[in-house]
Amino acid sequence: GENVEQHPSTLSVQEGDSAVIKCTYSDSASNYFPWYKQELGKRPQLIIDIRSNVGEKKDQRIAVTLNKTAKHFSLHITETQPEDSAVYFCAAKGYRGSGYSTLTFGKGTMLLVSP
């Protein structure tokens, strides 16, 4: 099955700096890669996603890049703000033996933005 590795596990930045979180996946058939943000005590919420036919996608201060050949994708947050502090999860859509697809998640990155 799909395996997703995520780095780093923790990331501390100063307000205004950029933050980059990287993930690799194992299944070359995976074609959908979302990123979720989870604030303390809350549910994960989708912040951006990318499909395998696109190399980059931007939404205001966040962007995701995908390198299909190397099987890795990254989340970029520019001009970080204290409210960006949260745990971020990457995920990859893989296909199970049943033929249906499910999301496999990375272990998460705790981002701390200091004022």
Partner 1 sequence: NAGVTQTPKFRILKIGQSMTLQCTQDMNHNYMYWYRQDPGMGLKLIYYSVGAGITDKGEVPNGYNVSRSTTEDFPLRLELAAPSQTSVYFCASVKVTGEKLFFGSGTQLSVL
What gap in Å lies between CA 82 and CA 34, rounded to an integer? 22
Q: Does residue 34 have a cis bond before it (omega within 30 degrees)? A: no
Coil, strand or helix at 84: helix
Binding residue for partner 1, selected from 15, 17, 46, 67, defined by CB under 8 A:
46
Distance CA 61, CA 109 (A): 18
Among positions 78-107, residues that touch partner 1 (CB under 8 A) are 89, 93-94, 96, 98, 100-107
* Closer CB to partner 1, 78 or 101, in the complex: 101
Q: What does the alpha-carbon distance between residue 41 and residue 74 come to, in Å, rounded to a whole number? A: 25
Q: Is 27 in the site for partner 1 (CB under 8 A)?
A: no
If one asks whether residue 6 binds partner 1 (CB under 8 A), the answer comes out as: yes
Q: How far is the CB of 91 from partner 1 (least distance, A)?
A: 8
Binding site for partner 1 (CB under 8 A): 1, 6, 9, 32, 34, 42-46, 49, 89, 93-94, 96, 98, 100-108
